[in-house]
Amino acid sequence: MKIKLCVCILLSGILLGCGTVADKTFSKVTIDGPYKYKVDSVMKLMTLDEKIGQMNQYSSDVSATGVMTADNTKLQQIEEGKVGSMLNVVGALNTRKYQEAAMKSRLHIPLIFGLDVIHGMVTNYPIPLAEAASFDLDLMRRTAAGAAKEASSMGIHWTFAPMVDVSRDARWGRSMEGAGEDTWYGCQVAKARVSGFQGKSLYDKNTILACAKHFAAYGACIAGKDYNTVDMSRLELQNVYLPPFKAACDAGVATFMNAFNDFDGVPATANTYLQRTIQKGLWHFSGFTVSDWGSIGQMIAHGYAADMKDAGCKAISGGCDMDMESRAYLSYMKELIKEKKVKEKYVDDAVRRILLKKFELGLFDDPYRYCDEQNEKKTVLSGELRNLSREAGKKSIVLLKNTNHVLPLSNPTSIALVGPLCKSKDDMRGGWFGIGTIDGVVTINEGLKKKFPYAQVNYAEGYDINTNELKEDSALLAAKKSDVVIVCVGERIFQSGENRSKAHIDLPSTQQQLVKDLKSTGKKVIVLLCGGRPLIFNELTPSADAILMTWWLGTEAGNAIADVVSGDYNPSAKLPITFPFTVGQCPIYYNYKSTGHPAKDGAPYTTGYMDQTFQPAYPFGFGLSYTTFDISAPVTDKIQYKMNEPINCKVKITNTGNRIGKETVQLYIKDKVASITRPIKELKGFQQVQLNPGETKEVVLVLNSSDLGFFNGEGQYIVEPGNFDIMVGNSSQNLKGITINLRKE
Residues that bind ligand GLC (CB under 6 A): 65-66, 87, 116, 160, 213, 292-293, 498
Rounded Cα–Cα distance for residues 251 and 508 (Å):
42
Rounded Cα–Cα distance for residues 58 and 114 (Å):
10
> What does DSSP assign to residue 322?
B
Nearer to ligand GLC, 495 or 666 (CB): 495
Rounded Cα–Cα distance for residues 449 and 181 (Å):
36
Kindly state the greatest CA–CA separation across the chain: 95
Nearer to ligand GLC, 58 or 710 (CB): 58
Spatial neighbors of 400 by CB under 8 A, at least 6 apart, are 529, 547, 548, 549, 618, 622, 623, 624
Q: Are 151 and 206 in contact (CB under 8 A)?
A: no
Residue 572: closest CA among 126, 16, 134, 84: 134
Rounded Cα–Cα distance for residues 404 and 400 (Å):
13
> What does DSSP assign to residue 227?
T
Which residues does residue 650 pair with via DSSP β-bridges, in sequence order? 635, 700
CA 567 to chain centre: 29
Rounded Cα–Cα distance for residues 143 and 462 (Å):
34
Residue 497: closest CA among 598, 422, 442, 427: 427
Q: Are 407 and 584 in contact (CB under 8 A)?
A: no
Rounded Cα–Cα distance for residues 578 and 434 (Å):
27
The two beta strands, 546-551 and 524-530, are parallel
Rounded Cα–Cα distance for residues 215 and 703 (Å):
29
Helix axes 328-338, 308-317, angle to 10 degrees: 80
Residues in the chain: 745
Minimum distance, C-beta of residue 282 to ligand GLC, in the bound complex (Å): 24
Rounded Cα–Cα distance for residues 107 and 739 (Å):
64
Query: Residue 34: what residue type?
Result: P
User: Alpha helices of 178-307 — where are they, by DSSP H?
Assistant: 183-198, 234-236, 243-250, 272, 298-301
Give me the residue whose beta carbon is nearest to ligand GLC. Answer: 65
Q: Are 428 and 436 in contact (CB under 8 A)?
A: no
Q: Are 660 and 690 in contact (CB under 8 A)?
A: yes
